[in-house]
Amino acid sequence: MRDGHLKSDEFFGAENFPTMNFVSTRFDSKGDGAFELGGNLTIRDVTKEVVLDVVYGGQMVDFYGNTKAGFEISGAINRKEFGLTWDAVTEAGGIVVSDTVKLAMNLQLQKQ
């Protein structure tokens, strides 16, 4: 039921907006393996600039001879800025959905 609700028009409207997109516009070094990634995030046909923190975790060669690099990416967005405005309150008065959505990604990229 939860997944169906998230796909509905009250949240992501997956039938009309089947994808979310991020297009990077800049990648700046902050020193010591830390970077700042800026770009345009589109959710529900609303595009906003977001800035994410990136930490370079290093690189290695795997068992098959492929060079891979690891990154940790984090940040936060306000869901309401993207048209995700559904709200509810529990019987005890607690908020069901926070306005702030934390983003956390671990990426492993392979050199081609």
Give the span between the Cα atoms of 20 and 35, in whole angstroms. Answer: 23
Give the span between the Cα atoms of 83 and 41, in whole angstroms. Answer: 13
CB–CB of 2/11 below 8 Å?
no
Supply the pTM of this predicted model: 0.84
Domains of the chain: 22-110 (2.40.128.110)
Output the tens digit of pLDDT for each of the chain's 112 residues: 989 989 999 899 999 999 999 999 999 999 999 999 999 999 999 999 999 999 999 999 999 999 999 999 999 999 999 999 988 887 887 778 899 999 999 999 999 9
- Write out pLDDT tens, residues 72-94: 999 999 999 999 998 888 788 77
Give the span between the Cα atoms of 5 and 108, in whole angstroms. Answer: 31
